[in-house]
Amino acid sequence: MKNTETRNDISGILLVDKPAGYTSHDIVAIVRKRFHVKKVGHAGTLDPGATGVLVLLLGKATKTSDEHLGREKEYTATMKLGEKTDTGDNLGNIVKTCAVNVKESDIAPVMREFLGEIYQMPPMFSAKKINGKKLYKLARKGVTVERKPRKIFIDELTADKIEIPFISFRVVCGKGTYIRQLAEDIGERLGCCAHLTELRRIRSGDFHISDCVNWEDLMKIDVDLLSSVTRESS
pTM, whole model, 2 decimals?
Answer: 0.88
β-strand 194-204 against 51-58: which pairing, if any?
A: parallel
State the pLDDT at residue 129. 67
CA–CA distance, 12 with 10 (Å, rounded to integer): 7
Catalytic residue among 47, 86, 89, 185: 47
- 175 vs 22: CA distance, rounded Å: 22
Specify whether 47 is catalytic. yes
Q: What pLDDT shows up at residue 3?
A: 47
What the chain holds in terms of domains, given with CATH numbers, is 12-70+206-229 (3.30.2350.10), 73-204 (3.30.2350.10)
How long, in residues, is the chain? 234
Q: Is 189 exposed, middle or buried (0-12, 13-18, 19+ CB in 10 A)?
A: middle
Give how far Cα 206 sits from Cα of 67, 71, 74, 102, 104, Å.
Answer: 12, 8, 10, 36, 33
Helix residue ranges per DSSP H, the chain: 24-34, 65-69, 104-112, 135-140, 179-189, 215-218
10-residue block means of pLDDT along the chain (234 residues)?
Answer: 55 94 94 92 90 94 79 96 94 94 96 96 69 65 72 97 97 94 96 96 96 95 86 76
Q: How many CA atoms lie within 13 A of 187 on its CB side?
A: 31
Strands 213-214 and 12-18: parallel
